[in-house]
Amino acid sequence: MEYKISATEAFNKYSDMVYRLAFARVKNKYDADDILQEVFLRFIKQKNKLNNEEHTKALLIRITINCTKSMFTSGHYKKTQALDETLSVTMPERDTLDAVLRLPIKYRTVIHLHYYCGYKSEEIAEILQTKPSTVKSQLHRARKLLKLSLEGVEFDV
Amino acid sequence: MFEKNYKNAMDNIKADAFVKESVLSKLEAAEEKAERRNPAVIWRVGTALAACVAIVLGVIFIPNNSVKVNAESLTAADSYNEIYKIFEAQNKSSFFDNLLGGLGKDEVYEYYYEYSDTEDAGDTATGTITESSNTSGLKGSQPEGSVNMEESEDAQNEYSETTEQVAGVSEADIVKTDGKNIYYIENNVLNILSAEGKASSLLSKTVITGEYDVMCNEMFLKGNHIIILKTDVYETSGNKTSVVIYDISNPKNPVKVAESCQEGYYTSSRMIGDYIYLISNCPINIKNIDKKDPSTFVPTIECKDEETTVPADSIYRYDDEITTNRYTVIAAYNYKDGTLSGTASLLGGTDQLYCSTENIILANTRYNSKEYDEYEDHIESYTVVSRLAIKDGKLEYKTTGQVDGTLENQFFIDEHKGYFRFVTTVTETKYVTQKFENSDNEFVSATNDTSARLTVLDGELKKIGEIKDLAKGERVYSVRFMGDTAYFVTFRQTDPLFSADLADPKNPKILGELKIPGFSEYMYPYNDGKLLGFGMEADEKTGRTSFLKLSMFNILDPANVTEEDKTVINGYYYSPALNSHKAMMVNIGRNLIGFAATDYDNIKYMLYNYTGEGFENLASIDIEAYYEGSVRGLFVKDGFYIITDTQLKVLDINSFEVLLTLEY
């Protein structure tokens, strides 16, 4: 039972996931568009080593993070654009998103992976190839900062 | 509530349909092309490329765009003015406009936090149990109730110690015991519990206070003193790391004796004799520097309520152009009263630290970011290493050198007979330009090839010997130096354990290689020419990791290392002992191996011994912890104590029956 996934299949399944993570990191749609393309082109090179869906997701997340990283270091990174005003969200939802996007990049990455993608800290650590203790302390500090900016926020941990 | 709001908002974020369509069509083209290739050809091209790179590597030892470092290149700054000029110049340079100088307050905060997590690397990446020896270098100078009792054989079996890399160099941890009480710090609370088997109890809880957000990192214990290494985390910059000293003569009422602090966040620490060496990383906000106020660009140290900037002649910097906005501050304090006995600061950060009884080696990994932009093949990173001589609380900067590649933890560095040895993982990035099938558009894809490298530097940190291009395509997972021999494990799919002979430092040689599935994250010398490995089992074909694994290597003949025994801990995927040697309890005298293991739902504390024929599971104890990294096991006399952030469990050391569970 060999696992195989084509880049187009992966794109149809996971392009939203990649796009949202990219957005959470670069905070604007223009760069997220570029990253979306870059991620899946890189994915073609590496997809043959994959064993299952979870692997695929993890690899895509890792590539997305690497791609966004090089955006920051290459000087390509421009000042953050304001969030698209046409988003059809409620005020509390909007505030929440803004608060997350104001976090330092490391923190909003782990917050996104935990609360949006539903990964546990250990899984995040594996994906990011870091230590679970690092992820846990980042989550902890991120929640602390979010509590400050969103008064009385409740976390369903 | 937060989760729901965030999810709903995020669900609205989507790529526009036309973007998706355009990406999809490019993907189809690129994929079609990739599929049509003959794999055999790729393979042949691949090896040919690898061979070329190996030759090129010999020429480019120091990446040409990097900060060039040579043995004499660090000099003491003559005055604060000189330092000011360095930062001022950076402030003006366009490079820093992009990277650091152009950042507003929020981003400085962000940048700071990006790096502040190296503290995790620093404090978790630490040593292993020392080779058991009868040398008792510090024995005579110990006060009553001394901590360093591993020096004598009787004491070694009395209670267990934090595992350490170098004999005579104590390492801090979250748990300490003196054979009478157990001391445990969690967040900002010091808990003292009596170690009296069934009658164990909580003696006191002391809240460590600070000015803002307090984090107690680790602590030392010596005689009647507990030395807590605390960081005050401020919102923007200017964090402070302190040594907070408590007198614990009365464990029910610890009394604060002294507090001294230095700027920066906690990186690592060591204790030798009466002195604590504390290392912090101190970022400077170069946008806010003021020539008239040195405290805006020079680290400060506060001792006995007196705040001073470190003297200009104790700050060392490169002669060459430097692009850094941080210092590494090293200071030595007396363990009893916190008086400052010596200090030195280096421009540039520190990721890993090795400390022998005579030298501190600071290692800082740097990336070749410029080359990355230009799509040139290059070695991705190199590590700048600096040496400071230490003696009785005095610090003296000696020299700086560099090795290619990155270090995973402090065990990747070693000092032996005046030579410094490093094992690194070297990553070469290569770029390949490809064309899409039906268009003229090109895209560049990067491939990363890794290999292991062993480098020997002399006392001046000049390279005198090396072995390159070992274990192509693999990364180094663990290293153990034992005298003239080095053992290191690399991993991609199987786990080769290399042994290298360093008796002639100019001409290191590979002695042997053993390939087994899985890998070891840490290696601990065991008795009779044995080396204990702790890591993960992996599938030989796919390289996928499965469960935790204990291995016992026979290293009596370093040229012919064998894996004598192994045991796979079925069902358990993760242990904090994969990340820190301090979370692993290895005691050769009692023949005990202990660590926490989790299947992600439950945490158990596992105890093993090694019979000579194989590993024997002595006990698997259910424990509770909010965070499994907080779990430590230790023994005092006939009791085995498992301590977590929520409870203490006491076991009989012979029957491993749970005698007491204490929630606190």
Q: Residue A96 and residue B6: Cβ atoms within 8 Å?
A: yes
Q: Same structural domain for residues A70 and A95?
A: no
Distance between CA atoms of residues B181 and B194, nearest Å:
4
Of the candidates B109, B447, B600, the beta carbon closest to that of A104 is on B109
The mean pLDDT value of chain B amounts to 77
Task: Give CA angle at B350 (A126, A135), nearest 5°.
Answer: 25
**What number is the average pLDDT over the span A136-141?**
86
Alpha carbons B357 and B390: distance in angstroms, whole number: 8
A83 in a domain, yes or no? no
Q: What is the pLDDT of residues B146-199, one digit of tens each?
A: 333 333 444 456 888 888 888 889 999 999 999 999 999 987 889 999 999 889
Q: Is the pLDDT of residue B625 over 50?
A: yes
Q: Work out the percent of chain B whose per-residue pLDDT is above 70.
A: 76
Greater confidence, B10 or B45? B10
Residues A25 and A60 in one domain: yes
Judged against a pLDDT cut of 90, whether residue B134 lies above it is answered with no
Q: Specify whether B218 is located in the same domain as B336.
A: yes
In a domain, A141, yes or no: yes
Chain A contact set for B439 (CB, 8 A): none
Q: Residue A114 sits in a domain of what CATH number?
A: 1.10.10.10
Number of other residues whose CB lies within 10 A of the CB of residue B412: 27
Check whether residue B186 and residue B261 sit in a common domain.
Answer: yes
Sheet with B213-222, strands from edge to edge, namely B213-222, B225-233, B240-247, B255-263, B300-303, B306-309
Nearest 5°: phi and psi at B482? -135, 95
| A132 in B contact zone (CB under 8 Å) | yes
Which residue of A34, A119, A124, A134 is the best one to mutate when testing the B interface, meaning the one whose CB has the most B CBs within 10 A? A134
* pLDDT confidence of residue B137: 31
Contacts of A28 in chain B (CB under 8 A): none
Same structural domain for residues A97 and A34? no
Domain contains B433: yes
CA gap B156, B159 in Å, rounded:
6
Q: Is the pLDDT of residue A80 over 50?
A: no
Q: For residue B263, tell me if it sits in a domain.
A: yes
Q: Mutate one of A16, A37, A114 to test the B interface: name it (highest B CB count within 10 A).
A: A37
CA atoms within 13 A on the CB side of A113: 28
B581 in a structural domain: no
Q: Which of B576, B457, B411, B227 is nearest to A131 (CA)?
A: B576
Residue A29 lies in a domain: yes
Instruction: Give a yes or no: residue B220 inside a domain.
Output: yes
SS3 call for B501: strand
For the stretch B342-370, what's the b/e string if a residue is b when 16 or more beta carbons lie within 10 angstroms of its beta carbon?
bbbbbbbbbbbbbbbbebbbbbbbbbbbb
Nearest to B168 by CA among B311, B316, B356: B356
Q: From the candidates A2, A93, A139, A147, which should be mutated to test the interface with B, based on the most B CB atoms within 10 A?
A: A93
Q: Examine the domain organization and report whether B111 and B235 are in the same domain.
A: yes
List the CATH number of the domain containing A65. 1.10.1740
pLDDT band at residue A75 under the 50/70/90 scheme: very low
- Residue A44 resides in a domain: yes
Residue A97 to residue B9, Cβ atoms within 8 A: yes
Does residue B90 lie within any of the structural domains? yes
Q: Are B322 and B439 within one domain?
A: no
A147 touches chain B (CB under 8 A): no
Domain boundary among B419, B439, B466: B466
- Identity of the residue numbered B257: V
Which of A15, A43, A75 marks a domain boundary? A75
Cα B211 vs. chain centroid, distance in angstroms?
Answer: 28
Residues B633-650 have a mean pLDDT of: 91
Both B412 and B326 in a single domain?
Answer: no
Structure tokens at B152: 């004598």
B104 and B43 in one domain? no
Last residue of a domain, one of A75, A101, A131: A75
Residue-level pLDDT at B254: 94
B484: in domain? no
If asked whether residues A48 and A118 sit together in one domain, one would say: no
- Residues of B within 8 A of A155 (CB-CB) are 1-3
Residues A98 and A52 reside in one and the same domain? no
* Contacts with A89 from chain B: Cβ below 8 Å: 8-9, 12
Last residue of a domain, one of B466, B500, B518: B466
Please answer yes or no on whether B31 and A44 come within 8 Å at the CB atom: yes
User: Are residues B341 and B423 part of one domain?
Assistant: no
Contact B24 A93 (CB under 8 A): no
- Please check whether residues A44 and A101 belong to one and the same domain: no
Q: What is the pLDDT of residues B318-375, one digit of tens each?
A: 655 456 778 899 999 999 999 999 999 988 888 889 999 999 999 988 766 554 445 6
Domain ends where: A47, A75, A103? A75
The last residue of one of the domains, among B311, B327, B347, is B347
Q: In whole angstroms, what is the distance from residue B353 CA to residue B385 CA?
A: 9
Q: Is residue A24 part of a domain?
A: yes
Q: How far apart are CA A98 and CA A92, in angstroms?
A: 10
Do A67 and A94 lie in one domain? The reply is no
pLDDT at residue B236 above 70?
A: no
Q: What is the mean pLDDT of residues A112-126?
A: 90
The residue range of the domain holding A47 is 1-75
Co-location of B6 and B45 in the same domain:
yes
Task: Report residue B518 as tokens.
Answer: 């899985």
CB contact under 8 A, A51 and B542: yes
Q: How far is B24 from chain A, CA to nearest CA, in Å?
A: 7
Task: Write out the DSSP string of A102-143.
Answer: HS-HHHHHHHIIIIIS---HHHHHHHHTS-HHHHHHHHHHHH
Does A90 touch chain B if contact means CB atoms closer than 8 Å? yes
Secondary structure letter of residue B450 according to DSSP: E
- Average pLDDT over every residue of A39-57: 82
Q: How high is the pLDDT of residue B238?
A: 62
Q: Are residues B60 and B76 in the same domain?
A: no
Verify that B319 and B222 share a domain, yes or no.
Answer: yes
Q: Which of B4, B7, B26, B27 to mutate to test the interface with A (most CBs of A within 10 A)?
A: B27
Of the two residues B627 and B335, the one the predictor is more confident about is B335
Would B443 be classed as within a structural domain? yes
Q: How far is B446 from chain A (nearest CA, A)?
A: 8
User: Among positive and negative, which fits the CA dihedral B93, B96, B100, B102?
Assistant: positive
- Split into its structural domains, chain B has a count of 2
Query: Is pLDDT of B617 > 90?
Result: yes
Both A62 and A109 in one domain: the answer is no
What pLDDT does B78 receive?
Answer: 64
Let me know if residue B44 belongs to a domain: yes
Q: How many CB atoms lie within 10 A of CB B500?
A: 24
A140 and A103 belong to one structural domain: yes
Q: What whole-number distance in Å separates Cα of residue B461 and Cα of residue B637?
A: 45
**A7 lies in the same domain as A67:** yes
Alpha-carbon distance of B303 to B338, in angstroms, equals 7
Q: What is the pTM of this model?
A: 0.66
Total of domains in chain A: 2
> For residues B110 and B357, which has the higher predicted lDDT (pLDDT)?
B357
Interface check A64 vs B, CB under 8 A: no
Give the contacts of B518 (CB within 8 A, at least 6 positions apart): B491, B494, B495, B535, B536, B537, B538, B545, B546, B549, B551
Mean pLDDT of all residues in B549-575? 89
pLDDT digits (tens, 9 = 90+) for B375-401: 667 777 888 899 999 999 999 888 888
What residues in A contact B369, CB-CB < 8 Å? Answer: 73-74
* Count of pairs with CB atoms under 8 A, one residue in A, one in B: 156
- Write out the H or E segment, with its range, that includes residue B74: strand B74-76
Q: Say if residue A129 is in the same domain as residue A102.
A: yes
Are A30 and A60 in a shared domain? yes
User: Per-residue pLDDT tens for B454-486?
Assistant: 999 998 899 999 898 888 878 888 888 888 888
B106 and B22 part of one domain = no
The pLDDT score that the predictor gives to residue A43 is: 87
Q: How far apart are CA A14 and CA A40, in angstroms?
A: 10
Residue A43's nearest CA partner among A25, A61, A20, A19 is A61
Q: Where is pLDDT greater, at A1 or B399?
A: B399
Domain check: are B203 and B310 in the same one? yes
Count CB atoms within 10 A of the CB of residue B636. Answer: 23
Tokens of B94: 């366009």
**Domain region containing B255:** 70-127+171-347
